[in-house]
Amino acid sequence: MAGLEVPDTGTVEIDGEDVTNVAVRDRGIGFCFQHYAPFRHMTVRKNVAFGLEVRKLPKREIAARVDELLELVKIRHLADRYPAQLSGGQRQRMALARALAIEPRVLLLDEPFGALDAQVRQQLRVWLRELHTSIAVTTLLVTHDQEEAMEVADRLAIINEGRLEQVGAPTDMYDNPANEFVMKFLGPATKFLGRWVRPHDLVVHPDSAFGGQPAVVERVTHLGFEIRADLRLATGQECWVQLSRGSAAESHLVKGESVWVSLVGAGDELPVTTRT
Amino acid sequence: MTTARKGRRSRAKWPLRVLALGYVALLIILPVGTVFFRAFQHGIGTAWSAVTTPDAIHALMLTLLVVAVAVPLNTVFGVGVSLILARHRFPGAWLLDALVDIPLAISPVIIGLSLLLVYGKTGWFGNWLAARGIEVIFSVPGIIMASAAVSLPYVVREVLPVLQEIGDEQEQAAATLGAKPFTTFRRITLPSIRSGLAYGVTLTTARVLGEFGAVAVVSGDIAGHTQTMTLFISDSIGNLDPTAAYAGAVILALLALGVLAVLARRPEGRRRWQSRSDRSASDSELPLLSTTSA
């Protein structure tokens, strides 16, 4: 979409204008790279000013706009440092300011938080979402991180091996996945009675009072805030159940115990196809 | 680390340092030092007059001229070829890469000889050139060509790895920000290869200054016409005029050192953006949008 690669087929339209054959520099897009692509020999200030200098704006205007943007992304105090002297998150914020400087029609973020550690990624995710509400620019974010996608997006598009699988609002897609791939990609999934279901929709009972399938607990794993229990049904099939700490305590799950498991909650059941 | 172990470590370093310094002293410091000494052995005046004869001055001017033409030529060529090899994929790229390295592998005399064979009066282009009154061999253009040929690889060998290592993301970013190709080259690519380029130019200049074999074959060594400084020095030794030879050598050495001093120094400012170890605190200082900045 940026024009950095040439498509084999199809067109790219921005604001109704066909830009498929328009050069990168004329498309009016802002781009952020996974590894920030900072201009290493320039200070933060000069980096952000680059797009404006290329457009030959008056110096005073450039300086004002740069200050404004640095303030926005909260790195004003680092303005005279070089990118090598910044942390990863700060560099990405600089990259964002640099991209926003030219007032792009579309902002393209290519796995912008992929190179950062988990905590920084989380912080920046929240921050990006807030930034987006104050700067109304259509933004396209590419990520492998499904949690990030769900948290940040207004609309989500899932692509699998070059094919667009589904487009929609995150919660809609989570509850009503179009196919097996989307279901497994957007959240945890396990097979139950020939169907894909969400493990947190499975409930475990100590006896058959509520009905359900008989099963044996094979393994209980404690993952901090949640418990995962792997079960083997009487039919021989295996599935796993996701429980919060509270409900796990109530269920007294122990390896080797016999339990009954049933499905509650509507939606997101998909028949298991042979191509898993 | 106990003091005993520390002592042993630093004691082991000394023999190595002495060895390394001794090697350099034997091969470089001693011979070069001797040249300087011998040049001024009979007084500065003698040395000066030996090296300010018309022939000597002409040799110096010729050498400087060759440098002034061959080095920029190879710089432009070197950067161009490096860009092509680093940023584009095409069949035969490996061949171009290898061809650039040939002058490193072949003896300069052979390079001079091949130029002779192609551009000499009886060479491939000999007739064509002679008909147009263009003299290449035994004339200044030939010397320039020979000098450029032997110093061809240096800029490429220094710039190409840098271009490959930094990748083209910065250039892509510049494009998305609206920069035209030349602007990107001038403001992004060129500054990023600056140190590699400087070193490559330094090596090229040093090579051109000191080239002997190829130039000897191609120039005919005509004093006052096609005699470069290196040929002058060699001739002076042959004419049993050692003072002129040594004085000439001193001049060449000073020229080369001058180039080295000017081009290859690393100003302090640049260290800042090249440093990786100097980092600010982690991103825990990221404030929320609602608070004021630090």
- Residue to mutate among A39, A110, A127, with most B CBs inside 10 A, is A39
d(CA B289, CA A199): 37
The confidence band for A66, taking pLDDT boundaries of 50, 70 and 90, is very high
Residue B8 belongs to a domain: no
Residue B279 belongs to a domain: no
In angstroms, the Cα distances linking B286 to A85, A88, A124 are 16, 12, 9
pLDDT at B279: 41
d(CA B60, CA B66): 10
Does residue A275 carry a pLDDT above 50?
Answer: no
**pLDDT one-digit tens code per residue, A46-62:** 999 999 999 999 999 99
- State how far residue A83 is from chain B, nearest Cα, in angstroms: 7
pLDDT at B110: 94
Which among B169, B192, B272 has CB closest to A35?
B169
d(CA A100, CA B194): 29
Strands A106-110 and A29-32: parallel
Radius of gyration for chain B, computed over Cα atoms and rounded to the nearest angstrom: 25
Does residue B119 carry a pLDDT above 50?
Answer: yes
Q: List the beta bridge partners of residue A214.
A: A260
- State how far residue A152 is from chain B, nearest Cα, in angstroms: 16
Total residues found in chain B within this entry = 294
Average pLDDT score, chain B: 83
Contacts of A116 in chain B (CB under 8 A): 283
Please say whether the beta carbons of B261 and A66 come within 8 A: no
Does residue A197 carry a pLDDT above 90?
Answer: no
Judged by CB atoms closer than 8 Å, whether chains meet at B273 and A55 is answered as no
Does residue B268 carry a pLDDT above 80?
Answer: no
pLDDT at B116: 87
Residue B61 belongs to a domain: yes
- Residue to mutate among B286, B288, B292, with most A CBs inside 10 A, is B286
Q: What is the CATH number of the domain that holds B151?
A: 1.10.3720.10
Residue B224 belongs to a domain: yes
**Which A residues 27-86 touch B at CB under 8 Å?**
29-31, 33, 35, 37-42, 50-51, 54-55, 71, 74, 76-78, 81-86
Which H or E element spans position A243?
strand A238-244
CB pairs under 8 A between A and B: 118
Range(s) of the domain holding residue B37: 24-264
**Which A residues 3-22 touch B at CB under 8 Å?**
4
Judged by CB atoms closer than 8 Å, whether chains meet at B283 and A120 is answered as yes
**What ipTM does this complex have?**
0.80
Does residue B290 carry a pLDDT above 50?
Answer: no
Does residue A203 carry a pLDDT above 50?
Answer: yes
The confidence band for B269, taking pLDDT boundaries of 50, 70 and 90, is very low
Judged by CB atoms closer than 8 Å, whether chains meet at A41 and B191 is answered as yes
Residue B46 belongs to a domain: yes
**pLDDT one-digit tens code per residue, A117-168:** 889 899 989 988 888 888 889 999 999 888 899 989 999 999 999 899 999 9
Percent of chain B with pLDDT over 90: 43
* Residue-by-residue DSSP string for B205-269: HHHHHH--HHHHHHH---TTTT--HHHHHHHHHHTT-HHHHHHHHHHHHHHHHHHHHHHS---HH
The confidence band for B84, taking pLDDT boundaries of 50, 70 and 90, is very high
Strands A17-18 and A106-110: unpaired
**A43: helix, strand or coil:** coil
Please say whether the beta carbons of A254 and A271 come within 8 A: no
Please say whether the beta carbons of A81 and A24 come within 8 A: no
Residue B30 belongs to a domain: yes
Please give the model's pTM, rounded to 2 decimal places.
0.77
pLDDT at A247: 76
pLDDT at A115: 87
Does residue B270 carry a pLDDT above 50?
Answer: no
Complete domains list, chain A, with CATH: 13-154 (3.40.50.300), 189-271 (2.40.50.140)
The confidence band for B275, taking pLDDT boundaries of 50, 70 and 90, is very low
Sign of the four-CA dihedral B2, B4, B5, B7: positive
Contacts of B279 in chain A (CB under 8 A): 85-87
- State how far residue B174 is from chain A, nearest Cα, in angstroms: 8
- State how far residue A24 is from chain B, nearest Cα, in angstroms: 6
Residue B12 belongs to a domain: no
Which H or E element spans position A242?
strand A238-244
- Residue to mutate among A36, A82, A96, with most B CBs inside 10 A, is A82
The confidence band for B9, taking pLDDT boundaries of 50, 70 and 90, is low
Q: Which of A6-10, A264-268, B98-102, B165-169 has the lowest mean pLDDT?
A: A264-268
**pLDDT one-digit tens code per residue, B123-144:** 777 777 777 777 788 888 899 9
In angstroms, the Cα distances linking B169 to A6, A63, A90, B17 are 16, 25, 18, 42
Average pLDDT score, chain A: 87
d(CA B155, CA B173): 26
Number of domains in chain B: 1
Residue B9 belongs to a domain: no
Strand positions, DSSP E, A44-171: 106-110, 138-142, 156-160, 163-168
- State how far residue A213 is from chain B, nearest Cα, in angstroms: 48
- State how far residue B187 is from chain A, nearest Cα, in angstroms: 9
- Residue to mutate among B163, B169, B177, B182, with most A CBs inside 10 A, is B177
pLDDT at B261: 85
